[in-house]
């Protein structure tokens, strides 16, 4: 899921931890990917800048989510490590976070979020 539908996986992780609602994250990443797709198809310096801006915003969102998970679960590491994984291998980072928070049922391919972990409900 993290390679073919990273926005859905990130939305499931965020919803599982109670950081943001599933559909809000899905809309954010869907919008970023749509703008990036349109920008990639156009032949202009502005659209090339827009494409890279969307890529950087997506990576920064992953960085922030990874940092929050590291804080919530008291996982040792550094912000430099989080940035390296988020920018260089976002799919691997998403898969690692999804496994850690158990945001999916093993052996299934579902798009719905799982219930929020009780210890991490931020409402």
Write out pLDDT tens, residues 92-115: 899 888 888 887 666 666 666 666
Measured CA to CA in angstroms, residue 112 lies from 2, 6, 87, 93, 98 at distances of 14, 14, 26, 20, 14
More confident residue, 27 or 43: 27
Whole-number mean pLDDT of the chain? 84
Q: Report the pLDDT value the prediction gives residue 123, as an integer from 0 to 100.
A: 47
DSSP 20: S
Q: What is the rounded average pLDDT of the residues 31-38? A: 89
Q: How far apart are CA 14 and CA 29, in angstroms?
A: 12
Q: Report the pLDDT value the prediction gives residue 121, as an integer from 0 to 100.
A: 46
Q: Which residues, 6 or more positions from 80, have their beta carbon under 8 angstroms from its beta carbon? A: none
Q: What is the rounded average pLDDT of the residues 26-35? A: 91
Q: How far apart are CA 35 and CA 85, in angstroms?
A: 24
Measured CA to CA in angstroms, residue 17 lies from 20, 28, 31, 51 at distances of 8, 17, 22, 29
More confident residue, 103 or 23: 23
């Amino acid at each position: 899921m993290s390679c073919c539908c990273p926005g859905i996986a990130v939305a499931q992780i965020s919803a599982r931890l109670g950081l943001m609602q599933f559909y809000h994250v899905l809309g954010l990443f869907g919008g970023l990917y749509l703008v990036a797709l349109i920008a990639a198809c156009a032949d202009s310096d502005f659209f090339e800048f827009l494409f890279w801006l969307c890529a950087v915003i997506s990576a920064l969102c992953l960085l922030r989510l990874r940092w929050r998970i590291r804080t919530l679960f008291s996982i040792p590491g550094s912000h430099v490590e989080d940035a390296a994984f988020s920018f260089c291998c976002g799919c691997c980072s998403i898969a690692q976070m999804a496994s850690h928070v158990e945001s999916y049922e093993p052996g299934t391919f579902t798009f719905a979020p799982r219930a929020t972990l009780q210890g991490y409900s931020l409402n």
